[in-house]
């Protein structure tokens, strides 16, 4: 907890210069206040997750007999995990999620980056209107397109596969991807592209050799944001998947309690745990780049 004791130093210097002695106790009080505030914040954020991990290691009798705060009696009790994965089908659900997320993520980024480039860098009449049309898609609720899509997929005989998910995720990801990529391309000085065309590069060549590498970090950020959107989606997966062996991890988790019955706490906690910390690992692994991207990026007002 070195954070909690970090004093707030510099910017006060200007005002405290006139009366340094009087201000010292006040400054100490302030840094204690800061410490408490930060500690409370961390407890609120991390507390539930710690309780989740502890719970995933407890046996059913511990759940029913011991207090909710009790530590697990056996720290190496991984039975809940094996049961969640085998009996709970968590492995299958996770595989389905990966199979749906990876192709749609790739497609939405590939199509979105190209469209963002065409809408921002290229010069043509009507590009403003098309960009606005994509933007409108951000506001449309998923519920508005569910029923016609269901009819289409049902008629086309796609309902027994993961294709409805892949297609829908690709389309739903496009508005935000196009919009964010357009803003990132806007921040690249136009001279760069103009110079490349002067050197005789064709547009498509310039797109792949100059433009894409220039916004590589932005693409990475957008891909990460989209990954979490798609991975965490429930509405689309719940609508278009009707058989147990095609369920994504979120739909599977939702039906988990039903499968084990309300009383089986351990496997449910273990399944939540796997889902939560799997996602968290991806985030931690890629976090630094995502934060820089979000902060430097397009979402500013």
Partner 1 sequence: MTHVLGDRRAIFMLLAPALTVYSLIILVPVIWSFGYTLFEGNAIIGFDYVGLQNFQLLFTDAHVREALSFTVRFAIVLTIVQVLLGYGLALLYVFVLKKASNLVRTLAFFPVVLPTVAVGLLFQQLFESAPRTGPVNGLLNVFGIESVDWFGSSTTAFWVLILMESWRSMGFYAVLLYAGLVDIPDDLLEAARLDGASGLRLVRSVVLPLSLPVLLSAVIFSINGTLKIFDSVLALTNGGPGSTTTPLTLYMFQTSFSYGQYGYGSSIALLLTVLCLVVTLFIFRSARRDLTKA
Residue numbers 90-119 binding partner 1 by CB under 8 A: 107, 111-112, 114-115, 117-119
Q: What is the helix (H) or strand (E) element at residue 300, kind and residue range?
A: none
Q: Does 210 bind partner 1 (CB under 8 A)?
A: no
Q: Among 29, 140, 192, 209, which residue sits at the site for partner 1 (rule: CB under 8 A)?
A: 140
Measure the CA dihedral 253/167/226/214, to 10°.
160
Which of the stretches 19-27, 79-87, 166-174, 212-220 binds partner 1 when contact is defined by CB under 8 A? Answer: 166-174
Applying CB under 8 A, does 146 fall inside the site for partner 1?
A: yes
Q: Which residues contact 38 (CB under 8 A, 6 or more apart)?
A: 3, 4
Does residue 61 interact with partner 1 by CB under 8 A? Answer: no
Q: Could you say which residues in the range 224-283 bind partner 1, by CB under 8 A? A: 228, 231-232, 234-235, 238-239, 249-250, 253-254, 256-257, 263, 265, 268-269, 272, 275-276, 279-280, 282-283
Question: Own/partner pairs for 227-234, CB < 8 Å, 24+ apart?
Answer: 227/101, 227/105, 227/282, 228/279, 228/283, 229/173, 229/176, 230/100, 230/101, 230/104, 230/105, 230/169, 230/173, 231/97, 231/101, 231/279, 232/279, 233/169
Q: Which of 19, 76, 132, 139 binds partner 1 (CB under 8 A)?
A: 139
Tokens matching residue 246: 């095609």
Candidates 23, 52, 158, 214: give the one binding partner 1 (CB under 8 A). Answer: 52
The terminus-to-terminus CA distance of the chain in angstroms comes to: 35
The window from 18-26, 62-70, 87-95, 212-220 that contacts partner 1 (CB under 8 A) reads 62-70
Of 17, 128, 157, 202, the one binding partner 1 (CB under 8 A) is: 202
Neighbours of 157 (CB within 10 A): 9
What is the nearest approach in angstroms of partner 1 to the Cβ of residue 85? 15
């Amino acid at each position: 907890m070195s954070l909690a004791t970090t004093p707030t130093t510099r910017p006060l210097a200007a005002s405290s210069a006139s009366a340094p002695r009087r201000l010292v106790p006040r400054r100490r009080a302030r840094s204690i206040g800061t410490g408490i505030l930060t500690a409370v914040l961390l407890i609120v954020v991390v507390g539930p997750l710690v309780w989740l991990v502890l719970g995933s290691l407890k046996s059913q009798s511990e759940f029913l007999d011991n207090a909710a705060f009790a530590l697990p009696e056996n720290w190496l009790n991984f039975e809940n995990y094996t049961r969640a994965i085998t009996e709970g089908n968590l492995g299958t659900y996770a595989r389905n999620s990966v199979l749906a997320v990876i192709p749609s993520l790739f497609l939405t980024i590939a199509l979105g980056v190209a469209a963002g480039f065409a809408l921002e860098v290229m010069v043509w009449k009507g590009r403003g209107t098309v960009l606005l049309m994509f933007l409108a898609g951000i506001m449309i609720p998923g519920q508005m397109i569910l029923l016609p899509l269901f009819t289409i997929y049902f008629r086309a005989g796609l309902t027994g596969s993961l294709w409805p998910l892949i297609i829908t995720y690709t389309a739903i990801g496009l508005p935000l991807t196009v919009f964010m990529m357009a803003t990132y391309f806007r921040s690249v000085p136009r001279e760069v592209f103009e110079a490349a065309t002067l050197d005789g590069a064709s547009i498509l060549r310039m797109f792949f050799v100059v433009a894409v590498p220039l916004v590589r970090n932005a693409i990475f950020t957008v891909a990460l944001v989209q990954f979490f959107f798609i991975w965490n989606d429930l509405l689309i997966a719940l609508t278009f998947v009707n058989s147990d062996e095609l369920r994504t991890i979120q739909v599977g988790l939702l039906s988990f309690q039903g499968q084990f019955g309300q009383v089986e706490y351990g496997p449910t906690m273990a399944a939540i745990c796997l889902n939560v910390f799997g996602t968290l690992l991806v985030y931690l692994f890629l976090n630094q780049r995502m934060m820089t991207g979000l902060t430097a990026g397009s979402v500013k007002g």
